[in-house]
Structure 1
Amino acid sequence: MRRTRVDELNQMCTRLGKHRYTFQDRQKIRFKHIVVDDKNKAMFCYVPKVACTHLLRIFLSLSDNINVSNPLHLEGKDVHILKRKLTYLDTYSNPEIEYRINHYKNVIFVREPLERVFSAFRSKFVLTHDPRFINYYGRKIKNRSRNVSSKMSTDKHGVNFTDFVQYLLHWRTIEEGYNEHWDSYCNLCHPCLVKYNFIGKYESFEKDVAALLKLLSIEGRVQFQKREENYMHVPSADMMSTYFKMIPQELFEDLIQIYTEDYLLFDYEIPSIEQVLKRHMSF
């Protein structure tokens, strides 16, 4: 019998010893990324840079708290404003959290980890027009970079990919915790503590969204727009080799270490630098 993604996740959680956590351990954990839909007995952990805007539209469409005629037609910026009106798992009591973890349809979508991190860099420091984000993180990144010429640059918006990777690896950044756009699935969604019974992947997005709509019994009333219909940029997978060739191999290997558990838990092959440099659209 072919093992499912859920089987793979559960087996790896056991192998890594992650199923040994008790509910007392869970009390120390924030579940602020997990949307709860009590009406449909479903939960969804949204992960930035894994088509989360598109997926949040589905859960906004299920919510009785959202006074919008059709959430599936919302602009991205409006989706992220309205998501504050959704209900999140960390607002419940411990017994209520335990019940939902064990009895709801728990959904997560993931993406090849390095591609997701690169997509976050590209979105926030190459394609973005949000100076608040660039100025705040740009200053931190330059201060923690080992690139002297970058630190001396007068360009406030100039953050290169090597600077960004060095920032991710800096002890102070790790101590502070990562921004949600490049934090790990393990930290955002706690995949060995929450019993996910539906795992979608970015690489098979349309097929998996169709399966999700069927799982939630809403396939007849939700017409989900194909992502390609309103995506205007070259896919990140096509750009990775151009940027990753800029970083030394030791930085690449250290970066992989940060996301190793994400690779293992969601059955992605851990790549070598050579594989990344050869990659274009390989999925």
Structure 2
Amino acid sequence: MKTAKLFMVTRPDAMEKSRWFSIVMLLGSAFMILLIIIYRDDLGVSLEPLQALHDRQVGCTNWKRVMLVLSGIQQQDGSPYKDPLAIPYDLVHSESTQFTFDTFRERYGDSSRQLMKMKLKNYTKFLFVRDPFERLISAYRDKFEKHDDNEIFYSYARDMLRRYANKTAPASDRDAFAMGLRPSFAHFMQYLLDPQTEKNKPFDEHWLQMYRLCHPCQIQYDFVGHMESLEEDAKQLLRQLIVDDVVEYPVSMHPRNLTTSNLLADWFSTVPLEARRELYKLYEADFKLFGYDRPDSILNSLRVSRISI
């Protein structure tokens, strides 16, 4: 079982204030690392940074919807959105709602580094994490079982098929799927463990270790929530920021977003035992830093067994 890690920040004068000022932005590209700067100057309450992945990894799309509701910068029929789920997916990931590090540097010039340090020191920072192995399954399902992300397919899947399946795939993900060509979950695990992988290019943000992605040893987060208790943790965070009367986090119950113990066993049954153990070593820091138990049922047996209920 995971260990909850929630850090509270008390701001005594917060209840008397009301007005929000906001900058909403994306660091990286859609579904990747977020830098969200939502600040309330009259409170000194801010959300920065929220570093996360696509919502099938740790809920980033819905968190962006929450931020857009709070910012009020996107409107529907002349009025700001009130319901996060009413904000269309394409609008959530539109460049018009993105404020990148490059944009930040362009806007603030030589003072950008010092300003960022000030924000990281004084503003509320929060992070949501997920069981590392469940996150890998989620990344695989989201990026390699669907044919709506041609960039990921071209950049990664074709390389996996060439290196581990001795197959040449067309550049288009739709053409490859029509031919029945896509990497297996075992191929994906091989790719992660191959020493040549990061010599060629860095890990994608969807499967980069969380400690490397979010730098918890360098950034003192005020609140760390978990995907496994997302609804409860999101409510607590919004209460802490005194915006729970303004917006609710839209918890999705779509079955693709859930990974049970049995599904974990099913997925890793295709991965050799020694490879499972090497994968644990690769992501061990994430397990330990964020309070997740070592998955002994997967690491101690040649044959992964489903759990009886």
CA distance in 1, matches of 2:217, 2:64: 22
* Structure having the higher Rg: 2
User: Counterpart in 1 of 2:295?
Assistant: 271
Structure 2 unmatched ranges of 5 or more: 8-27, 106-111, 170-178
Question: Is the CA contact (8 Å cut-off) linking 1:134 and 1:157 kept in structure 2?
Answer: no
User: Counterpart in 1 of 2:221?
Assistant: 196
User: Over aligned residue pairs, what C-alpha RMSD do you find?
Assistant: 3.0
Question: Is the CA contact (8 Å cut-off) linking 2:6 and 2:225 kept in structure 1?
Answer: no
Letter in 2 for 1:182: W
Q: Say yes or no: does 1:85 pair with 2:97.
A: yes
User: Counterpart in 2 of 1:37?
Assistant: 38
Structure 1 unmatched ranges of 5 or more: 8-29
Aligned residues: 251
After superposition, the Cα gap between the structure-2 partners of 1:245 and 1:101, relative to the gap in structure 1 and judged at 3 Å, is same
User: Counterpart in 1 of 2:263?
Assistant: 239
Letter in 2 for 1:56: K
After superposition, the Cα gap between the structure-2 partners of 1:199 and 1:226, relative to the gap in structure 1 and judged at 3 Å, is same
User: Counterpart in 2 of 1:103?
Assistant: 122
Question: Is the CA contact (8 Å cut-off) linking 1:5 and 1:199 kept in structure 2?
Answer: yes
User: Counterpart in 2 of 1:185?
Assistant: 210
User: Counterpart in 2 of 1:5?
Assistant: 5
User: Counterpart in 2 of 1:58?
Assistant: 66
Shift of 1:38: 2.8
Letter in 2 for 1:87: F
Letter in 2 for 1:233: R
TM-score by length of 1: 0.77
Q: Say yes or no: does 1:47 pair with 2:59.
A: no
CA distance in 1, matches of 2:62, 2:219: 22
User: Counterpart in 2 of 1:140?
Assistant: 159
- What is the DSSP-based 3-state SS (H/G/I as helix, E as strand, rest coil) of the residue aligned with 2:248? coil
Letter in 1 for 2:114: P
Deviates more, 1:66-75 or 1:118-127: 66-75
Deviates more, 1:215-224 or 1:205-214: 215-224
Identity of matched residues, %: 26
- CA distances 1:59-86 after superposition (whole Å, capped 9, x unpaired): 222235444532612233432225x624
Question: Is the CA contact (8 Å cut-off) linking 1:42 and 1:106 kept in structure 2?
Answer: yes
Letter in 1 for 2:163: R
After superposition, the Cα gap between the structure-2 partners of 1:66 and 1:194, relative to the gap in structure 1 and judged at 3 Å, is farther
Deviates more, 1:60-69 or 1:40-49: 60-69
Question: Equivalent residues in 2 for 1:93-242 (5 A)?
Answer: 93-145=112-164, 150-152=165-167, 155=179, 157-175=181-199, 176-228=201-253, 231-233=254-256, 235-237=258-260, 238-242=262-266
Shift of 1:139: 0.7
Question: Is the CA contact (8 Å cut-off) linking 1:239 and 1:280 kept in structure 2?
Answer: no
CA distance in 2, matches of 1:6, 1:126: 34
CA distance in 2, matches of 1:65, 1:140: 40
Q: Say yes or no: does 1:250 pair with 2:274.
A: yes
Question: Is the CA contact (8 Å cut-off) linking 2:70 and 2:246 kept in structure 1?
Answer: no
CA distance in 2, matches of 1:166, 1:187: 20
